């Protein structure tokens, strides 16, 4: 039997690793991976608490919805990154700071 707080600590650590990747990486792909880490940490918390909710299954259902949303996010953001690359020949978010051409 794994205590609930250990699940929360693991997901907290994973969230902070993702936060670090989002804050300090200079490559849009790495930022995307950091966002995925943060989403996975949230999903782990949902699933861990969903264990105590057998009738309604709220945690596991919304974990499934979050996974589907993450897939949609990745598809759209990959398309955006590829477009940005064809415009700027560069996907470093510190140098791309204009919305216009």
Partner 1 sequence: MNIEQVVFYILAATVLSSAFMVVFNRNMVRSIFLFFVTLFAMSGLFIYALADFVAVTQLIVYVGGMLVLMIFAFLLSSKTILNTSATHKTSLIGLHHLPGMLISLLFFLILFVTIHQANPEEIGWVRNAGNNTLVASDNTIHAIGINLMTRYLIPFEIISVLLMMALIGAAHLARRTKKQ
Site for partner 1 in 5-34 (CB under 8 A): 5-10, 12-27, 29-30, 32-34
Using rule CB under 8 A, residue 96 touches partner 1: no
For residues 44 and 11, give the distance between their C-alpha atoms in angstroms, rounded to a whole number.
6
Structure tokens at 8: 């929360």
Using rule CB under 8 A, residue 48 touches partner 1: yes
Site for partner 1 in 61-80 (CB under 8 A): 61, 63-65, 67-76, 78-80
Closest approach, Cβ 12 to partner 1, in A, equals 4
Please give the torsion angle defined by the CA atoms of residues 81, 22, 92 and 69, in that order, rounded to the nearest 10 degrees.
Answer: 0
Residues in the chain: 101
């Amino acid at each position: 039997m794994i205590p609930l707080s250990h699940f929360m600590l693991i997901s907290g650590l994973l969230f902070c690793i993702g936060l670090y990747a989002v804050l300090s990486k200079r490559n849009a792909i790495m930022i995307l991976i950091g966002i995925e880490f943060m989403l996975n940490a949230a999903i782990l918390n949902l699933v861990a608490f969903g264990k105590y909710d057998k009738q309604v299954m709220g945690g596991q259902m919304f974990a499934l919805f979050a996974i589907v949303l993450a897939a949609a996010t990745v598809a759209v953001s990959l398309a955006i990154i590829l477009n940005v690359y064809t415009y700027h020949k560069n996907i470093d978010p510190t140098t791309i700071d204009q919305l216009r051409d």
